[in-house]
Amino acid sequence: MKGLSKSRYTKFCQCPKALWLHLYQPELEIIDDSLQGRFEEGNKVGNLAMGLFGPYVDVTTYKEDGVLDIPTMVSKTLQEIEKGTQNICEASFTYVSQGCMNYCAVDILHKTPTGWAIYEVKSSSYRSEKEDTPKELRKYTRDIAYQKWILENYGINITGTYLVRLDSNYEREGELDIQNLFHIKDVRDLVDLEYKVVANNINRAIKIILGDEPELNISQHCQDPYNCGFIEYCKGDLPKPNVFDLYRMWFSKKCEHYHNGKITFEQCKDLALNPIQMLQVDCYLENRKHINKEEIKNFLSTLHYPLYFLDFETIQPAIPPFDKSHPYQQLPFQYSLHWIEELDGELKHSEYLGDSINDPRRELAQQLCDEIPFDACVTAYNKSFECSRLEEMAEIFPDLRDHLLAISHNIIDLIEPFRKTMVYYPAMNGSFSIKKVLPALFPDDPELDYSNLTGSVHHGGEAMNIYPEIANMNEIEAAMARKSLLEYCHLDTLAMVKVWQKLIELSEAN
């Protein structure tokens, strides 16, 4: 019997169609590697938070096939409640409503003098009270209200409801201090507001579960509060390109145009578009490329030799693994560096890759300073990322500070000719990421096709996920993974070299 869980309930609250698809056509949901990595980080956060209030009992139980044994978990939970256990983790309850099973597992069920408190652990970050608006918190309080409803129908007296998140202000020094790593917020008032609609939402959700696929158009809810993994399915019948491909337009505005029948680029050409959007539409409709040779020449004149091309790869662990690191801080573990010392000179390359165990930042920063001269001209693609990493390392390594900041201040952004519309090809489809620009500029070059990389790493999300796992691999697997990482990052900077060379070619073309 298909039923509700807290994740299914919140999915329904965002979009009933998403719940139906999740149950009956889950293969249509697109979960990218970055999101999958967040799920895995979330499990680590949840496990660490279990010890927040001292000794605990985790009732998680699996069947032989690896599926959760929910009846056993419910039974264990009731036994621990009878014992008066102070902290029950993954405390499990089921409650049947209108023939539908409602299930929840409370992250931490904490005993109080008069009942029990629900602590919902999320792997997201707390930043400040200013950012904790009711709208922002609603994505969490829906979930907690659903749990409270089940437990109270089960006869459990709930005396408090709390949200537990990682405190982004925490900086690790030595052993993890989980009392300061986590931020606990009392969300009683907001949960009580959500509680009033839980029963009605459950009744509506049951009708969705028992019915046919609901008809719902694309709207703001597709990205509120989370990006829906079924959106490409819902956009499946739309012509390509369409209004949702327009460059840097608010999704809510795209939805407004969509509902007003402005879907194709032909229909969008009379909208109040910004210059980049207008260029995107015109180049597609007229099947032409836009190249401004004079502006390209002006950009190229800002570059000088020796000329360097730099790219970092990073991990972004929820739980800070090293001293001087924060939750979800981007920690560089790898770089690729191409350079050419003079016009028509030899293209050279160097690289760095950490060992997946120790903090790689000091060694990486030192090698970078050794390889890039103090006053060198450095390029990066979308330079804010590389500049931020350099500035962060300069903050924690005072002896390298001046050199790292010099590199950062001298970086010129290779995305600029595209973002400033010096060059636009219809194949870019409104995106200036190098993964879109490269195949547009070099459509038939297999050397520059990321899908042709033979290893397991084809994009940054895969690099981020595989690097920490190398420490747990055998020697052969680790060697293959490291080779894949090196090949991928090498292609990132080689791609930058090729883009630079193409810009020179375009500026000189008759």
271 strand-pairing partners = none
Question: Phi and psi of 291, rounded to 5°?
Answer: -135, 120
Residues 290/280, Cβ–Cβ less than 8 Å = no
- Spatial separation of the C-alpha atoms in residues 326 and 346, rounded to whole Å: 41
The predicted structure's pLDDT at residue 40: 81
Q: Annotate 57-70 with b (16+ C-beta within 10 A) or e (fewer).
A: bebebeeeeeeebb
| pTM confidence score | 0.93
In degrees, rounded to 5, the angle at the alpha carbon of residue 11 between the alpha carbons of residues 8 and 14 is 155
Give the pLDDT score at 481. 97
pLDDT at 100: 86
Q: Which residue has the tokens 């009683």?
A: 188
Half-sphere exposure (CA, 13 Å, Cβ side) for 180? 11
How far, in Å, CA of 72 to CA of 447, rounded? 54
Instruction: State the pairing for strand pair 377-380/307-315.
Output: parallel
Residue 96's DSSP bridge partners are 101
Q: Using CA atoms, how far apart are residues 105 and 204, in angstroms rounded to an integer?
A: 22
Q: What is the DSSP string of 341-383?
A: SSTT--EEEEEEE--SSS--HHHHHHHHHHHS-TT-EEEESST
CA distances from 402 to 292, 297, 374, 375, 379 (A): 37, 31, 9, 11, 18
Spatial distance between the Cα atoms of 324 and 273, rounded to a whole number of angstroms: 44
Closest CA to 471 of 324, 372, 356, 335: 356
Residue 193's CB is within 10 A of a number of other CB atoms, namely 13
pLDDT by residue for the chain (510 residues), tens digit each? 578 999 999 999 999 999 999 999 999 999 876 667 777 888 999 999 999 999 999 999 999 999 999 999 999 999 999 999 999 999 999 999 888 899 999 999 999 999 999 999 999 999 999 999 999 999 999 999 999 999 999 899 999 999 999 999 999 999 999 999 999 999 999 999 999 999 999 999 999 999 999 999 999 999 999 999 999 999 999 999 999 999 999 999 999 999 999 999 999 999 999 999 999 999 999 999 999 999 999 999 999 999 999 999 999 999 999 999 999 999 999 999 999 999 889 999 999 999 999 999 999 999 999 999 998 999 999 999 999 999 999 999 999 999 999 999 999 999 999 999 999 999 999 999 999 999 999 998 999 999 999 899 999 999 999 999 999 999 999 999 999 999 999 999 999 999 999 999 999 987
Question: Exposed/middle/buried for 165, CB within 10 Å: 0-12, 13-18, 19+?
Answer: buried
Element of type H or E holding 477 = helix 475-508
Tokens of 172: 């690790």
| Cα 447 to Cα 441: distance, rounded to the nearest angstrom | 13
Is-contact 481 466, C-beta < 8 A? yes
Q: Measured between alpha carbons, how far is 182 from 49 in angstroms, rounded to an integer?
A: 8
Q: How far apart are CA 254 and CA 272, in angstroms?
A: 12
Quote the pLDDT of residue 33.
67
Secondary structure string (H, E, C) spanning 396-464: HCHHHHHHHHHHHHCEEECCHHHHCCCEECHHHCCCCCHHHHHHHHCCCCHHHCHHHCCCCCCCHHHHH
